[in-house]
Amino acid sequence: MDEKIQSFLEGQKNLSFCTAVDNTPHCANCFYTYISEGDFIIFKSDKNTTHIVNALNNNKVAGTILPDVDQIGTIRGLQFMGKFIVPEDHLLVLAKKKYYSKYPFALAMGGELWAIQLQHIKMTDNTLGFGKKRIWESQPLMK
């Protein structure tokens, strides 16, 4: 993955992601952490929320990650598409370690850890010039 995209993912905390089932879209915001091994976004949410129920029925998701900025020339953000995954085995162990070290308060909160395996990213980075884009795609593409 492009070093600038990876650094951006590691430096942010909140994502918005979208699901769709039966032509009905739904969006949610969650705190997340990024695992570079396999390009996973890890977040915590209750299994009964609309976005988790939807993602379990249709694992193709999309979303955005944007930091808070005041000046248009410093705007950076990305759009992503990925595959929703229930983390197990090695990924679950790694997800718990990474997520709870970043958000220790989340240990006291209900919910489960979930993963999105990133498959496509378009990052806009105005610090490199207005509207400058970086594109990344995993191999193989989403199925």
CATH code for the part of the protein at 3-137: 2.30.110.10
- Please give the pLDDT value at position 72: 66
Residue 96 CA to residue 100 CA, distance in Å, equals 6
pLDDT, one tens digit per residue, over 56-73 is 999 999 999 988 766 666
- Which residues on neighbouring strands pair with residue 44, listed in sequence order? 113
Please name the residues in contact with 141: beta carbons below 8 A apart, sequence gap of 6 or more.
Answer: 119, 120
Q: What is the DSSP letter of 48?
A: T
Q: Determine contact, residues 101/113, Cβ cutoff 8 Å.
A: no
pTM: 0.85
Residue ranges per structural domain of the chain = 3-137
